[in-house]
Amino acid sequence: MPRKYQPALLERVIDEQQIAPRIGELYQLSGGGFGGKAMRSYAEAWAAIALLNGEYVHWIDGACRFNPARIIKCLSSNIPESNNLLHNLFVGRGFTVHQFSALIERLASEISITKAKLVIIDGPVVMHLDEQVKDREARALLKKSLKHLAHCASKYHIAIILITSSKPYSKRHANLLKMIENSCPQRLTGRIEVRGKTSRMRLLHHPSGTSGYREFAVEQETLQQSFSRIFHQQIMLQHGSNEEIESLIELS
- Beta carbons within 10 angstroms of residue 195's beta carbon: 13
pLDDT in tens, 36-74: 999 999 999 999 999 999 999 999 999 989 998 899 888
**Mean residue pLDDT across the chain:** 83
Look up the CATH number of the domain holding residue 74: 3.40.50.300
Pick from 90, 15, 89: which is nearest to 52 by CA? Answer: 89
Per-residue pLDDT at 13 exceeds 60: yes
Q: Is residue 194 part of a domain?
A: no
Q: What is the pLDDT of residues 168-225, one digit of tens each?
A: 999 999 999 999 999 999 999 998 888 887 888 889 999 988 888 875 544 444 445 5
Which of 100, 21, 10 lies closest to 61, judged by CA?
100
In a domain, 204, yes or no: no
Q: Is residue 201 part of a domain?
A: no
Q: Does the structure show a pLDDT above 90 at 252?
A: no
| 195 belongs to a structural domain | no
Task: Give 223-242 pLDDT, tens digit per residue.
Answer: 455 555 555 555 445 544 43
Per the structure, the count of domains in the chain is 1
SS3 content of the chain, % helix, strand, coil (to 5): 45, 25, 30
Q: Would 65 be classed as within a structural domain?
A: yes
pLDDT (0 to 100) of residue 216: 53
Question: Is residue 140 included in any domain, yes or no?
Answer: yes
Within-domain flag for 37: yes
| Structural domain boundaries enclosing 36 | 16-188+220-250
Which of 28-37, 65-74, 78-87 shows the lowest per-residue confidence on average (mean pLDDT)? 78-87
